[in-house]
Amino acid sequence: MGLPLMIERSSNDNNNNNKVELSRVAVSDTHGEDSPYFAGWKAYDENPYDETHNPSGVIQMGLAENQVSFDLLESYLEKKNPEGSLWGSKGGSRGFRENALFQDYHGLKTFRQAMASFMEKIRGGKASFDPDRIVLTAGATAANELLTFILADPNDALLVPTPYYPGFDRDLRWRTGVRIVPIHCDSSNHFQITPEALEAAYETARDANIRVRGVLITNPSNPLGATVQKKVLEDLLDFCVRKNIHLISDEIYSGSVFHASEFTSVAEIVENIDDVSVKERVHIVYSLSKDLGLPGFRVGTIYSYNDHVVKTARRMSSFTLVSSQTQHMLASMLSDEEFTEKYIRINRERLRRRYETIVEGLKKEGIECLKGNAGLFCWMNMGFLLNTKTKEGELELWDVILKELKLNISPGSSCHCSEFGWFRVCFANMSENTLEIALKRIHEFMDRRRKF
Amino acid sequence: MTRTEPNRSPKSDSENSGNGGGGGTTAMRVIVPLQGVVQGRGGLFLGSVIPCAFFYFLQFYLKRNRKNEPDRNPDSEDSNSGSPDPTRSQSVGNLTELTSLPRSLSRILLSPRISGGAVSVSGRAGFVIKGGDSPYHVGQKRVEEDPYDESGNPDGVIELGSAQNVKFNLEDDWVSENPREVISDGLCMSGIASYEPSHGLMELKMAVAGFMSEATKNSVSFDPSQLVLTSGAASAIEILSFCLADSGNAFLVPTPCSPGYDRDVKWRTGVDLIHVPCRSADNFNISMLVLDRAFYQAKKRGVRIRGIIISNPWNPTGTLLSRENLYALLDFARERNIHIISNEIFAGAVHGEGGGGEFASMAEVVDTEENVDKERVHIIYDLSKDLSFPGLRTAAIYSFNDNVLSASRKLTKLSPVSSPTQHLLVSAISSPKFVQRFVKTNRERLMRIYTELVKGLKELGIECTRSNGGLFCWVDMRGLMSSYSEKGEIELWNKLLKIGKINVIPGSCCHCIEPGWFRVCFSNLSERDVSVVMNRIRKVCESCKSQH
């Protein structure tokens, strides 16, 4: 027969010492976990601040988590719907069975309806959402990656305005093979996206023979903590139509805008457009992690005006489904009009107060922040404290703040900011006392510096 | 419809391109002079072939660079035949593209601003949109539209396609036995709401490790720190595919195999599957010779094989791989320096160990091996399947390879298990008594249903392979087909769905090289349902006999 029965030796013959290899994806560092953004978290994990037990520990100001309105959630789940806290609206074993058995990637209709209604509420009814266009994913991280897989091929690019959330480097690029081409924004106009910057980014990609498939913005912006102006959104959509590309709007912080009137969702703009070819390039990402402070629940959604994207995303969401128990648990809460109205209002108010506290506290030390109106963080300018206005200078200062002040904040360079000296400081993942302590440490640090 | 003939001569194709207007005229302008230059009979042929080849290449190049037209018929799942129809697609697609070529060319030239043009999606998305009408999806849809219910809808379609392990009452006992307080403590908000490791709570990993040990009869103790939890087996397989192979590489997969691999392994990773057929004459056992040949042939083609995917108990046949099999596979992997992915998601559903051998996990086999060999073994486990908790979406990767564990942990950020679910599961499966009872009762029930089903099929003259594990029966319906071909198989599948109103998976979805085999999932059935299913199959048998 000619085929040897002996197993053929492979070309590298040290079979006994042959370590089996992994893929490029597995060994690449595109996951970004070695960057300062994540390194600071490690320092925190090793020496976490605790009011009583470890008052000199590291205060975590690098994690955008919302704990200011936890009490509202807890009391709702206990009083209004004790059964709901376990299995959804049907208690006991029947509820358990329904939870355990349901596995459809469409997601529970009641939950999608609840999500749609919640998203409408956040936008003050200025846009409507169709539950059948909602695709559930295990978090916004997965939603962004999924959209990237669907809208772009390997080596294509998405345009993303800087500074941007460091996680995008992983979510948009790691497994997808898609690139990010930055749209450079700077402080001269409060980091807003300009048509010139858009064109410049597009040209950069074109010159490098890279096909641009879409623009991805975060609105409100992370790390800026500011909403995108309506005019800018209209310009963006126009740009996307002209270049025939997609527009992804990550609105994960939409419920954290301090004043509802200051937020314009891309959904509002699309609402008044009839032309399907314009609408079907728009996709919105949302999650309950930030607004509701439920990151552990891993509930994210893709809302798309494009039928094919919805259909594909639904199938692809098989890799990243939300458990039926989670859906049941949250469905009744999210569709409770009274509760969601109250929650959104109070949450916004508390965040606004926190923001004012920290911004004023920093101002007293001569540290300015970008005028923000949303989110769980502020964008602080410490440029004047740098030894050199370079990335190294910025990281030097970051290191000092981590080691001396024991504050973990995020350096602008990890957000790809083109100006050095900016830092993102989170304020919603701690008690008010802890925030005071953090401000005190900054005050002491600035005092020491002034004495020189 | 003669236009669909794949063997049309090139001459007719260029005539068709002539119908497309400007493009066709150009073609003739090339052919005629070429025919003049290249004299004789060859001239006519070459004069036609060369411009046609040029045309196809130009069209291919332009297709890559122009905006894609979206498929204006998204609901291709409505197609009743569900036939993959391989003979149709190629040539029809080409003909359509030929006629549309001149139009899109002119559009690009005339209007620099392509406003109003439809925005395109990626190749990956396009692949899905087309794949929607496989029997797998068509059947699923039918069941959704008209689901069988013993009292409410007795004429509905019975789902025998996928594994749900639905009709099971043990959860009721568990829920009533465990006081609410114990459960609700685990669910207190501040404990579960914040960010936790995406690859799973240590408590849950410990409980899962305990469960896996129980399922493998404690022959191996599983180390929780070698576990990575993720939201479902699909995600687990995909994560491993991303870690172990690059785009363009391939895995060897003995067939028949799980229909899910086409999506889970190939879709987003760009990794290919090379099917290694097993035959009914061998009882669908893996032949090391055939495996070897497949590896050798792939290498000759320049395809790099990174691993082999096995499942134990085997999906769809239900066979248990013997220790000898597993050692042979490990040897094979060692000699070629490749990985082994052992899909043990049905380990908790081993029901027929008496006559059919014993279940041995790959973890047990590799226990006494060198580290360098341990590092090539990765096991997938699925709580959803074995615990009949599909909605709770929790699967695990168990690996001896630190680098794979490290990469997988990071990748689970894209497919994490939600905290409340993790806490719930910890409560559920940490009780050793519950786990033991559950696994034992589950096994006994599966054996009972399986035995009933096989008996019933035998009375109808239908045989199955001996299944000792998992939730499926691999049924030989070759005798019922009108023709021994894939077409015959699909026809029979259609009859089973339309006349018998049962949804089963045809062997072609499992890439079985022999037509006529069907995967029947019996875990959805109660003992009463089995007789209903038998009656339905009898109806189909009679309908087939009356046609022969």
DSSP B327-379: HHHHHHHHHHT-EEEEE-TTGGGB--HHHH-----HHHHHTTS-HHHHTTEEE
Instruction: Quote the tokens at residue B200.
Output: 């799973």
pLDDT in tens, A123-134: 999 999 999 999
Is A249 exposed, middle or buried, given 0-12, 13-18 or 19+ CB atoms closer than 10 A?
buried
Catalytic-role residue among A165, A286, A303, A343: A165
Contacts A320 to B, Cβ<8 Å: 231, 235, 414-415
What distance in Å separates residue A405's CA from the closest CA in chain B? 24
CB B117 within 8 A of CB B104: no
Q: Is A165 a known active-site residue?
A: yes
Tell me the residue type at B159.
E
Please tell me the distance from the alpha carbon of residue B468 to that of residue B446, in angstroms, as a whole number: 10
Torsion angles phi and psi, residue A60, rounded to 5:
-85, 105
Chain A interface includes B375 (CB < 8 A): yes
Over pLDDT 90: what percentage of chain B? 43
Options A156, A169, A250, A336, the catalytic residue: A250
Closest CB from B166, B403, B417 relative to A26: B403
CB contact under 8 A, A149 and B391: no
Helix (H, G, I), strand (E, B) or coil at A393: helix
Confidence label for A69 from pLDDT (cuts 50, 70 and 90): confident
- Quick check: B77 pLDDT over 50? no
Instruction: Retrieve residue B153's tokens.
Output: 């809808």
Mean pLDDT along residues A104-129: 91
Distance from CA of B421 to the nearest CA of A (A): 7
B194 contacts on A by Cβ (under 8 Å): 65, 67, 295-296
The secondary structure of residue B519, as a DSSP letter, is: E
Q: Pick from A3, A20, A325: which is nearest to B375 by CB?
A: A20
Q: Radius of gyration of chain A from Cα atoms?
A: 24
B296:A156 CB<8 A: no
Chain A residue numbers with beta carbons less than 8 Å from the beta carbon of B128 are 311-312, 315-316
Query: Is B371 part of the contact surface with chain A (CB cutoff 8 Å)?
Result: no
Binning pLDDT at 50, 70 and 90, where does residue B36 land?
low
* Contacting B residues, span 439-478, partner chain A, CB-CB under 8 Å: none
A101/B166 touch (CB, cutoff 8 Å), yes or no:
yes
| Cβ pair B244:A299 closer than 8 A | no
Tens digits of residue pLDDT in B276-331? 999 999 999 999 999 999 999 999 999 999 999 999 999 999 999 999 999 999 99
What does the pLDDT look like over A214-239, one tens digit per residue? 999 999 999 999 999 999 999 999 99
pLDDT (mean) for B244-248: 94
Instruction: Pick B242's closest partner by Cβ from A86, A152, A175.
Output: A175
Residues 6+ apart with CB under 8 A from B52: B10, B13, B14, B17, B27
Residues 6 or more apart whose Cβ sits within 8 Å of residue B342: B310, B311, B312, B361, B362, B377, B378, B379, B380
Chain A residue with Cα closest to B233: A319
- Strand partners for B273: B251
CA-based nearest residue to B115, from A275, A247, A266, A202: A275
The pLDDT, as a whole number, for residue B33 is 56
Determine the straight-line distance between the first and last CA of chain B, rounded to whole angstroms. 28
ipTM above 0.90, yes or no: no
- Which amino acid is located at A440 in the chain? K
pLDDT tens figures, B464-498? 998 888 889 999 999 999 999 999 999 999 999 99
What's the distance, Cα to Cα, between the start and end of chain A in Å?
87
Q: Which of A18, A19, A77 sits opposite B189 (nearest CB)?
A: A77
Model's pTM, two decimal places? 0.82
Strands in B166-232 per DSSP E = 227-230
